[in-house]
Structure 1
Amino acid sequence: MGRIAGYFGTGNMGVDTAPIFREMEKRGKHDALIYTRDEIISFSSGSQLPELTDDDSMISFFDPSMAPSTTHLSVSGADITVACDVDLYKWDELCDTQDSIFSGTIDNGTDFMQLFLSDIFKRTNSEGSGISQTLAFLDSSLRKLWGVYAFACKANERIYLARDLIGVKPLWYDVSKGLAFASEKKFLEKAGYTEVKELSPRQILCYDLKDDTVTMHEREFLTTLPDVQGSEDEVRDELLALLRDAVSVRVPDENFGVMFSAGIDSTILASMCKEIAKEKGVSVTCYTVGLSGEVSSPDIVCAKRISEELGFDLKIHEIDLEAVEEYLKVVVPLIEDASVPKTGVAMTMYAASVAAKKEGINVLFAGAGADELFAGYNRYKRSDSINSDCLMDILEMHEVNTYRDDTVAAFTGVSLRLPYLDEKFVEYSLAIPEKFKMSDDMNKVVLRRVGEKIGLPKIITKRSKKAAQYGSRFDKALTKLAKRAGFDNKTEYINSFSGE
């Protein structure tokens, strides 16, 4: 939910940070910690924009009701400063395996990440490690984490940028004049940068402040995926166990929500969340969105039926054409390079996030990744190698899907949790034999078997896929609105919002 930004080595050119703060002010109440060479500045978004004259600065935006630690960390005579956007699980168990640096009270994943990185660079600095050894140790250490993250860390006159291996948390950078980084591409472009690139989840970037050089460390991930062994029932049971773990570890100690389209992916999530939430003493609400009208959207019709049968707490959020157009004014500039399918999906995410946040929900589960893991799209029927195509789709998800979803959720102040993109679950799912994923008349076969195992009705386990923009009827809304506004097609209509 947090956003980060920073810049180093720009010399006398400086950076106009005002657009970044103005962008964040659109998103409601956000405070910021500004790390400079000499101090930490606490800034309230409700006051005048801060004047930043220091060339080397990092900014962490956060919800003031969940303020991170303001400790300025230092080890071995070298300053360690961290700006991070993290959602980590079971970090408290990792504390027990680390050195005494973790002996104090740690309240959240942000505090843990700061100390975790501090410990890493304390070790490498004391050992006199070179850049290659430091990057390799950082890579191996990050693999101990369970969760998603993006961070920038200044240590020993170097800046390190990294994100989780799937790429759920976004991170962009520009090295055309020093180093600049940010959670969102628009932050850098509005600050005057023109050569902005997305950091690959399978890379760690190191920028040396002394000699203005960049080193990239390649991170191995999903390079070997031999088919898992066992019968279909055995594979189903192992998949179920891994998914239950991925869901359980993400269920918060507060009431939360599930984006619910009543398809197999979201119904499995909702069913597991309901069970685990009851054990933890919290409640879970399913949110289904769609276009209002004389005929309800397909997702809403099915969601009502399934929720009644399975006992889900369901909230319906229907919006009319005028509301869709108002949402577009927010969503299109927010997600950048908006195509028709991308906009339709983003509208569904935005509508559900808005509905959840209005009810005080801070955490929202979604089924992203299931289609890519289990051959859920029709194009997989034409595939020469289903698992190879599934792997490629997972490796490329950060370029569109996860960036879009995280950006929309973060804008509304919601933390998005995606159990299907848990690293352990992803690794196992990509190694499941293709024959368990696709049959002559059905996709996502093994996932449907999981649904059967946990007692879902046939209306769900046999329901065919309908993309979010169609199940919600938001795509139909775009067609009507484009025609009403006098545009030849939906693409031209959507692009008319890009400059707002």
Structure 2
Amino acid sequence: MSEIFGLENHFLGLNPVFFDNLCLFWDGEIYNFKELNDFLNTEIDKDLGYKSLIIELSNSKKYGYDEGLQNNELIIRLLHYFTHQNLHKNTPILIAIRKTMEIINGDFVFSVYDGENIAICRDIYGSKPLYYGYGNEENNNIFNKSSLHKNLDKEVNDIFNEDILHKNLDKEVNDIFNKNNLLAFAENRKFLWNLGIENIETLKPGYILFNDELNAPNHLPWKTYLDGLTINQECIKKDKFNLEFYKNNLLDLLEGAVYKRVEGLDEVGLIFSGGVDSTIIAKILKNISEKTNLKVKLYTVGTEDSKDILFAKKIAKELDLPLIFQVIDEELIRSTIEDVLIAIEEANIIKLGVGMTIHLSTKLAKEDCVDVVLSGQGADELFGGYHRYLEVYKKGLTEDSNEKKAVNKSMLSSEKNKTYRENNAEKNIAIELRHDIENMYHVNLERDVAIANCNNVSLRSPFLETKFVEFALNVPVKYKIKSSDDKLRKHILREIAIDLHIPDYIAYRPKKAAQYGSGIHKILSKKILKDFDFKEFLVDLKNNYRFKTKE
């Protein structure tokens, strides 16, 4: 068993919320809040036994019931409901956590404690970072029994029955320090380094760490898709639905995803490169703003002659949306490189280059008093935007599929042979897209969110709406990549852009990575990194945090 509250009585820098025997630490956004709230109220009204329990708790001095629930309050009520569906026998908290996570549409991490069990959880895409590790004897100068009791008592004496609390705490504290397995977790590694924890793990998306045991998710959209994928699947070559069907549904789902992420906001920003992905989102935001009072602002960074600034200026003018841009140079990059490295906590030149774009864009937004910013993350992974997918396609064309091996080669016509190879190439692409969506949490999302957090900006990604991802993965590959030398790729997105009346020069603008389109990579590789050892900087950073624990 591991301890939940840890140092300074907080998780993720947040204060806990309590209800009955539950304590919840939450950080995140819920995009189906109304649906969940309606569900909870309906279920409570149907269950008279549970309704009487809620009324009793609500009338208690300990718990004030407020119909205007916040995100964390709604989640703790859902957890409580799922543990008390059967009033004669409580449902195990782990099952309640699973049920709650399955119905949340959002970006989140949370921890819940019921007086006996502790769990930490992360959404299925890993939209927010979550790291954990265990203390040992060397950490006892930070985590000691007296301070642990003092901290816990201060927080929960008024919540849990005092006798039960101390009985549980005595056993738990002894377990923690006898077995040297105090659990600590946070949204950044620096917090754990500061505790002297060396072996830091990333909680994978959708997973639950329950009493130190990892529990895999029951459902992941990319796994469901892959399970049904076979090379001779009829829908690969003879689609049950046509291009218009896929385009219309993708657009409907994306419009809904964008709307959910800006609902209730007065203003929102968009990290804007002038590429097809961010321009589609900009156009949808423009349409929303014309029906509501939402103010939309675009943020772009790049060198004076960069493609991103050139295209962003031109399309922003056509969309009649305000563009705030920053021209970057060597001096600016030098002055901000350490901030980005401190945020991403990794010595990776690609992440550093992309991260610099995110950092400068979200910093512009914060200086502009905009707290929520959208990004186009996920589009390249869902629709085959990266150039490396062409190599995957080529490999599929040259490999013999299992189906072909099972057939007498002499019986295959040249047309049949071509069909087998194209099917095999498309299958390879489909598997690669699935792999990239599954792994984008540590490739892209953790970096971007960590940087945005450092600028106190909430970063949201409409392309990672669950229903959109599930549908996009089932769009035939031929609508995404047409051949092994396809210089454009993402064709169905480009068709959607045309349908939205986005100009051809944007709709058919070739993909260019953020660090290249902005010109940042060139400055980093040719000027700054020649005399700045970013790997050594990260080592020193980690050591500085470690040494703080021994002072």
Question: TM-score category by the smaller chain?
Answer: 0.7 to 0.9
Q: Deviations over 1:446-499 (max 9, x none)?
A: 11111111111100111001100011111112134336x646xxxx45644653
Structure number with larger C-alpha Rg:
2
Separation of aligned partners in 1, 2:131 and 2:538: 23
Task: Show the counterpart of 2:24.
Answer: 82
Q: 2:277 aligns with which of 265, 274, 278?
A: 265
- Pair 1:123–1:192, CA change in 2 (3 A): farther
Task: Show the counterpart of 1:140.
Answer: 99
Separation of aligned partners in 1, 2:292 and 2:89: 44
> Are 1:61 and 2:65 counterparts?
no
- Structure 1: gaps (5+ residues): 1-6, 18-51, 63-67, 208-212
Task: Show the counterpart of 1:482.
Answer: 528
Separation of aligned partners in 2, 1:108 and 1:455: 39
Counterparts of 1:101-500 in structure 2, within 5 Å, are 104-123=66-85, 127-130=89-92, 134-175=93-134, 177-207=181-211, 214=213, 216-222=215-221, 223-225=223-225, 226=228, 229-252=240-263, 253-291=265-303, 295-383=304-392, 384=396, 385-440=428-483, 441=486, 442-482=488-528, 486=531, 492-493=533-534, 495-496=536-537, 499-500=540-541
- Show structure 1 runs of 4+ deviating over 6 A: none
Q: Please tell me whether the aligned partners of residues 83 and 96 of structure 2 are also in contact (alpha carbons under 8 angstroms).
A: no
Separation of aligned partners in 2, 1:493 and 1:407: 18
Separation of aligned partners in 2, 1:495 and 1:343: 14
Q: Please tell me whether the aligned partners of residues 126 and 205 of structure 2 are also in contact (alpha carbons under 8 angstroms).
A: yes
Specify which structure has the higher proportion of strand.
1
Q: Which one is further off, 320-329 or 426-435? A: 320-329
Q: Deviations over 1:327-361 (max 9, x none)?
A: 11111121012311110000000000000000100
Q: Please tell me whether the aligned partners of residues 382 and 433 of structure 2 are also in contact (alpha carbons under 8 angstroms).
A: yes
Kindly provide the amino acid, as one letter, of the partner of residue 281 in structure 1: N
Matched residue SS, 1:402: helix
| CA-CA distance at 1:61 after TM superposition | 2.4
Q: Please tell me whether the aligned partners of residues 366 and 457 of structure 2 are also in contact (alpha carbons under 8 angstroms).
A: yes
Separation of aligned partners in 1, 2:69 and 2:298: 29
- Pair 1:137–1:147, CA change in 2 (3 A): same
Task: Show the counterpart of 2:409.
Answer: none
Q: Deviations over 1:174-193 (max 9, x none)?
A: 24623221111221122111
Separation of aligned partners in 1, 2:200 and 2:531: 34
| CA-CA distance at 1:116 after TM superposition | 2.4
| CA-CA distance at 1:320 after TM superposition | 2.7
Q: Please tell me whether the aligned partners of residues 84 and 91 of structure 2 are also in contact (alpha carbons under 8 angstroms).
A: no
Percent identical residues: 31
Q: Deviations over 1:265-310 (max 9, x none)?
A: 000001101111232212100101113xxx4211001111111122
Q: 1:95 aligns with which of 33, 37, 44?
A: 37
Specify which structure has the higher proportion of helix.
2
Which of the pair has the greater relative contact order for Cα pairs under 8 Å at 6+ separation? 2
| CA-CA distance at 1:126 after TM superposition | 5.7
Kindly provide the amino acid, as one letter, of the partner of residue 236 in structure 1: K
Q: Please tell me whether the aligned partners of residues 255 and 282 of structure 1 are also in contact (alpha carbons under 8 angstroms).
A: yes
Separation of aligned partners in 1, 2:306 and 2:182: 50
Q: Please tell me whether the aligned partners of residues 289 and 317 of structure 1 are also in contact (alpha carbons under 8 angstroms).
A: yes
Task: Show the counterpart of 1:72.
Answer: 18
| CA-CA distance at 1:428 after TM superposition | 0.7
* TM-score with structure 1 setting the length: 0.80
- Structure 2: gaps (5+ residues): 45-50, 59-64, 136-180, 229-234, 397-427, 542-551
Number of residue pairs matched?
426
